[in-house]
Structure 1
Amino acid sequence: MADISSKDFDRALAVGRPPNIQTLFPNSRALLVSGKYIDMAMLAKGNSICMAANGRNQMVIRGALRAAQRANAVLIIEIAKSEGGANAYCAVNYWNMARIVDSLCNEMGIRIPVAIHADHYGIKNDKDIQTARTEIPSMFDAGITSIAIDASHMPDDRNLLASIALNPYVPDWAGLETEVGEIKGKLGLSTKEEALFLIQGLNAHDIFPNWIALNNGTTHGIEASDQGIQVELTAEIHAALVPYNISGAQHGTSGNSSDRLRRIAQETRTTKANVATALQMISWGVEVNDYGNAILDSEGRFKKVEGEGVAEEVWAQMQDYAQSQGWKKGDFKKLNLPFESKLLSQPAEVRNRMATRVETFVYKMLVDVFNASDTAPLAIDAILKAGSHDPGPKAERIETPEAWTEAKIIEKAKAITSNKGPAGDFED
């Protein structure tokens, strides 16, 4: 394992934290960095993916940080708009996540670079764009260091135009993710044509994302089928995007086998993979298989492992509450908000076993599946080489701006052949 020297860590701490982090936490020893450096570290190692752990509760965040420290790996802690936006179902949100992560890093002496990512910042209509003009700056004021502008719910031209319109509200130094195609499983799969349209249009406007997320056959939440991620489709689209130097972001990993995720690391340009539902279930003590998918009993209910995760009486209360609300297994995520205080009020030994269960799972994923071990020194090397919190743009403009005006974007989009799949709520 390549150790990080105290001298290098102190130097990275002095120059690598973005301005918002320095302002919020002037005396902190937590190395919260731009998502750009996370992407760079994975590319430097090669065939390596950073886990983006959705921090649906504080024990998940604690366990993920401990695992990354053990693996000497960089880490992204994130929350999506549905989970942690203005109408959230989690207590951890866009505006308190950085404070929670900073506090835990200082408490536990975490010395690996961590990005704070606002995932799936969804834009579905013009009203959302207007709201975003104030909401995005407020999120960066609260410590976000990376963001996914996700207008994939809209047609291709409006997706691109929304991303262009909102880019001025994202700091130049921040990590940036874009998305084409909602995550709908085998329905509405993304195409090479759609992805090129989005990335070429952004490139013409001097917007150079770190990541692109696709609908490549997976789903959010609990994966009930064996469809999963389509590795070949992902590789084909990533290959087409090579001139634009963009990495892939893999969404919906819960339920996909470890072998399939290893293939994503080895055969595609993916450097970021979101893990959400699996970590929630593991922290609660739900029985899972080797890649984090919940195991159900003969009646289709979650199986709780006695003596692991939440206290047995709390689990009973969670089940009763879900039943009183008429929630099925896919709705159990909504328990996060009403039960966060209850989870935090459990005895220390219970809170610790929740975090430890997450730590064990995340460590195995980082080391054995995502090939992410020893990427922390690579990120610190990149910070020291740049001597700044911002390594600069990932790519350069190769498209002609005059060919990508609003009128020409709308016209080009008419020629795209794609199947967006059925309408509906596919957020998690």
Structure 2
Amino acid sequence: MTDGVSDFDKVIEIGRPPNIKKLFPNSKALIVSGKFIDRAMIAKGKAISMAANGRSNIIIRGALMAAQRANSAIMIEIAKSEGGASSYCAVNYWNIARQVDALCNELGITIPVAIHADHYGIKKEQDIVAAKIEIPTIFEAGMTSIAIDASHMPDDKNLLANIELNPFIPKWAGLETEVGEIKGKSGLSTVDEALFLIQGLNAHDIFPDWIALNNGTTHGIEASDQGIHVDLTLSIHEALAKYKISGAQHGTSGNSSDRLREIASKTRTTKANVATALQMISWGLEVNDYGNAILDSNGNFIKVKDEGVTEELWKQMVAYADSKEWKGGNYKSLNLAFENKILGQPKNIRDRMAKRVE
């Protein structure tokens, strides 16, 4: 303590990016650039920060509580499909920072938190025009990190899209890039395509913090136990080592704790996304160590009595899903339809949902 100013107050003053300072001038939330989270994991060594998909306010609350208890930095993220202009969650690119900041102040969260726009998808060249307008708006709204995902396009188009959009991303922000989505579920990323993207970006003075790969993961509910190809991930990370880029692991729901520990110990991964598992846990569904919701003999989710949402609300959610003919992974679309009903439950119910996430 010096002149009545604590070390934490100093960190709040110098550690927050300009957009966060402008939006929340009196806040005590340590919202930082995604770059800081990556560098902290590198300094720690063999460490990964969870990037929790904040599909609901309850999930954000529970994830922040868990990070504080673990004394661990965390990233709170939302993907374009989840929280973009056409989305299935009430939490979105433009309100997530306000929710994170409010919760950090309410809960007394002191660990560093980055806010990440995950999977900002560019699926065709025409998407770039709209992205040039939209990307600045999400940073104006408090984003501190972004993943440009143009990997649905061929490698050259992926590279060119990343180069064209880079001027619209603040230099201080965390930056993730991706290869491999174009190959779908069966095709895996290669060393050559990863090198092509990173060498091409570096040649244009663009230095991403993370690269995400198609390395055997599936977004959503993972039906098999094949999961992440650790050796493939290691070989690509080793080939990229001299470019000082870390790995971002997508689709961790569906992988055991042991496999995730192996990823941490063997590869250069510093960021691991978790989405579906946290959603299912918050609702009160049975989930195994792989992060998969357990199904009954009829292929339906199993609701744990007196955990998560109330039994009455769960029945409403199931009935709504049935009316839309939603099954399995499509239950994610319940987030938008039921966010306000979930927030309208009694405090003890909301608290048990958040505690289950924690």
| TM > 0.5 | yes
Please give the alpha-carbon distance, in whole angstroms, between the structure 2 residues aligned to 1:334 and 1:184: 25
Alignment-mate amino acid for residue 91 of structure 1: A
Deviations 1:95-149 (A, max 9, x none): 0000000000000110011000000000011221000001000000000000000
**Residue of structure 2 equivalent to 1:253:** 252
What is the identity percentage for the equivalent residue pairs of Structure 1 and Structure 2? Answer: 74
Per the TM alignment, residue 166 of structure 1 is displaced from its structure 2 partner at its CA by 0.1
Please give the alpha-carbon distance, in whole angstroms, between the structure 2 residues aligned to 1:8 and 1:183: 47
**Residue of structure 1 equivalent to 2:261:** 262
Please give the alpha-carbon distance, in whole angstroms, between the structure 1 residues aligned to 2:178 and 2:158: 9
**In structure 2, do the counterparts of structure 1 residues 238 and 245 end up closer, same or farther at CA, with 3 Å as the change threshold?**
same
Please give the alpha-carbon distance, in whole angstroms, between the structure 2 residues aligned to 1:42 and 1:186: 29
Retained in 1: the 8 A contact 2:30–2:113? Answer: yes
Retained in 2: the 8 A contact 1:31–1:112? Answer: yes
Alignment-mate amino acid for residue 314 of structure 1: L
**Residue of structure 2 equivalent to 1:204:** 203
**Residue of structure 1 equivalent to 2:316:** 317
Retained in 2: the 8 A contact 1:185–1:217? Answer: no
Per the TM alignment, residue 291 of structure 1 is displaced from its structure 2 partner at its CA by 3.4
**Residue of structure 1 equivalent to 2:178:** 179
Q: TM-score, normalised by structure 2?
A: 0.98
Structure 1: gaps spanning 5 or more residues: 1-5, 360-428
Please give the alpha-carbon distance, in whole angstroms, between the structure 2 residues aligned to 1:47 and 1:7: 30
If asked which structure has higher relative contact order (CA below 8 Å, sep 6+), I would say: 1
Alignment map for 1:24-173 (pairs within 5 Å): 24-173=23-172
Please give the alpha-carbon distance, in whole angstroms, between the structure 1 residues aligned to 2:324 and 2:337: 12
Deviations 1:195-232 (A, max 9, x none): 00000000000000000000000100001012100000
User: How many residues are paired up?
Assistant: 354
Please give the alpha-carbon distance, in whole angstroms, between the structure 2 residues aligned to 1:291 and 1:14: 40
Alignment map for 1:3-14 (pairs within 5 Å): 7-14=6-13
RMSD: 1.0
Q: Tell me, what secondary structure is at the counterpart of 2:31?
A: coil
**In structure 2, do the counterparts of structure 1 residues 55 and 183 end up closer, same or farther at CA, with 3 Å as the change threshold?**
farther
**Residue of structure 2 equivalent to 1:404:** none
Retained in 1: the 8 A contact 2:178–2:211? Answer: yes
Please give the alpha-carbon distance, in whole angstroms, between the structure 2 residues aligned to 1:182 and 1:316: 36
Per the TM alignment, residue 7 of structure 1 is displaced from its structure 2 partner at its CA by 2.4
Provide runs of 4+ in structure 1 moved above 6 Å.
none
**Residue of structure 1 equivalent to 2:271:** 272
Q: Tell me, what secondary structure is at the counterpart of 2:126?
A: helix
Alignment-mate amino acid for residue 67 of structure 2: A
Deviations 1:177-206 (A, max 9, x none): 000011877511000000000000000000
**Residue of structure 2 equivalent to 1:233:** 232
Alignment-mate amino acid for residue 273 of structure 1: A
Deviations 1:335-355 (A, max 9, x none): 000100000000000000000
Retained in 1: the 8 A contact 2:307–2:352? Answer: yes
Q: Tell me, what secondary structure is at the counterpart of 2:32?
A: coil
Please give the alpha-carbon distance, in whole angstroms, between the structure 2 residues aligned to 1:8 and 1:255: 40
Deviations 1:284-340 (A, max 9, x none): 000011232101111110000000000110000000000000111121000000100
Deviations 1:9-61 (A, max 9, x none): 11110111111001100110001000000001100111100000000011100
**In structure 2, do the counterparts of structure 1 residues 217 and 129 end up closer, same or farther at CA, with 3 Å as the change threshold?**
same
Retained in 2: the 8 A contact 1:247–1:270? Answer: yes
